[in-house]
Amino acid sequence: MIYTVTFNPSVDYIVRLDELEIGGLNRTGDTAKYAGGKGINVSRILSALEVPSTALGFAGGFTGSFIEETLQSQGIHHDFIKVSGDTRINIKLKTGEETEINAAGPMIDTSDIDRLKDQLSSLTPEDHVVFAGSVPSGHDSLYETLAQLLDSKGIEFTIDAEGDKLTSTLKHKPYLIKPNLFELEGITGKKPSTKTEMIEAATELLDFGAKNILLTLGSDGALFINSEHTYYVPSPEGILKNSVGAGDSTVAGFISRKGHPVTEQLKYAIACGSATAFSDDLATRDAIEALLDQIEIQTIEEVK
């Protein structure tokens, strides 16, 4: 079973309007509400691909109930830990360009963390855990702590995080990490400008313990590096509509084909990420499958 962990989920409130008048009255064109959070996004894409998962994390209040009910209506199993505060609401203003207003999440205390540890301790090496997003305030070392717990039990995990939250887990050999170029620069202190330089910088993270690295390059596609393969995957053509959840969709696509050849994992990763970027919400299965034949896996020699 795949388990996704969202420490700080949200209700994403999408507001569309022709223009925003600061200080004036604005009337929306239309609105929508979604269960949000990076791990939840991964579970939603897995569900679209008919790959089961269980969403873990912390949820509270009427907004937490909305998330649980929404996932249940979509056939996504969840086992959130109930907390006393309300799950946050994030506002996404779409006025031609996109503006995000992200709220702070509820306080998470040590007993809540201990309950999450108990959940993860019950898993087996046949399971896979996806960690994604921010950690609760005051728990900066949580990723490292949980990565160590899983490593000690022989359970593979994927992590999609930034800076120290990512690098602190590398010694525990994450199955997949998905930095973008900006994050890679921050981790390595280098500013690679060519794909060869990017690969050299990313290889340092292999040396630190990562098993698979998917370096996302936005509209330029992605580079994949592990101990056996190096590939470049150009992005398919399409119109960018939505940047929210594209990275999470990429992770979900890769994990959805775990156990298959890495080239198939990469096709699904890029198809899922691109399909979400070309959609108003997360990608549907039809949108993903429509892109699969457009995904071209190139060796680095072909890129040169």
241-275 core/surface letters (b: 16 or more CB in 10 A; e: else): ebebbbbbbbbbbbbbbeeeebebbbbbbbbbbbb
Q: What angle do CA 211, 58, 120 make, to 5 degrees?
A: 45
127 belongs to the catalytic site: no
Neighbours of 210 (CB within 10 A): 26
Which residues are CB-neighbours of 109 under 8 A, at least 6 positions away?
none
Tokens matching residue 174: 């994450």
Name the active-site residue from 248, 280, 281, 293: 248
Residues 6+ apart with CB under 8 A from 118: none
The tokens for 74 are 């979509």
Q: Do 230 and 194 contact (CB within 8 A), yes or no?
A: no
Q: What are residue 175's DSSP bridge partners?
A: none
CA distance 295 to 286: 15
Query: Which position has the token pair 């998470």?
Result: 108
Phi-psi map region of 26: left, alpha, beta (phi>0 left; psi -120 to 50 alpha): beta
Provide the token pair at 28. 């929306």
Distance of CA 144 to the CA centre of its chain: 18
Beta bridge partners of 2: 53, 128
Q: Name 92's Cβ contacts closer than 8 Å, sequence gap at least 6.
A: 12, 13, 14, 15, 98, 99, 100, 101, 244
Catalytically active residues, by annotation: 248
